[in-house]
Amino acid sequence: MPSLLILNGPNLNLLGQREPEVYGTTTLAEIEERCTVTAQSLGYDAECLQSNHEGVLVDAIQGAQGQHGGIILNAGAYTHTSVALRDAVAGVAVPAIELHLSNTFAREEFRHQSYLSAVSLGLICGFGVAGYDLAIRAMVDHLAR
């Protein structure tokens, strides 16, 4: 079965307890389970990884080539700071969708800048946990073309 890589960046391991008014009360484990169920319903496996370390995320993106059909990437704060993640996404022949739980454009000014948007298929933000389902469905649709 083909697979998707679901990557979550720094502090997303704190979902469910970190700023629930912004990020909701769903835990990362619950999101990962939801991603697995959604992907499987569409004929895909989902491999989920979270790391607070930029290099681990870069390694996962590089390792996706030849292993995964697509990447769903919620890079958290690295979205706004990491040229390394941007270059990793640009450097592999694996399509990526940028994802954020909150609407980054309705938040602090520094969150309006993304290094990932220009090298991603698209951006999904502001739909909370449902954004993961939307991203998986969009990726599967893209891969079917």
Q: Which residues are catalytic?
A: 23, 100
Q: How far is CA 11 from CA 25, 74, 76, 109, in A?
A: 14, 11, 7, 20
Q: How many Å apart are CA 132 and CA 114, to the nearest integer?
A: 18
**Distance of alpha carbon 64 from alpha carbon 58, whole angstroms:** 10
Distances in Å between the alpha carbon of 66 and those of 24, 35, 50, 70? 34, 21, 20, 10
Of 135, 25, 17, 30, which is closest to residue 75 (Cα–Cα)?
135
3-state secondary structure of 99: strand
114 DSSP 8-state letter:
-
DSSP 65: T
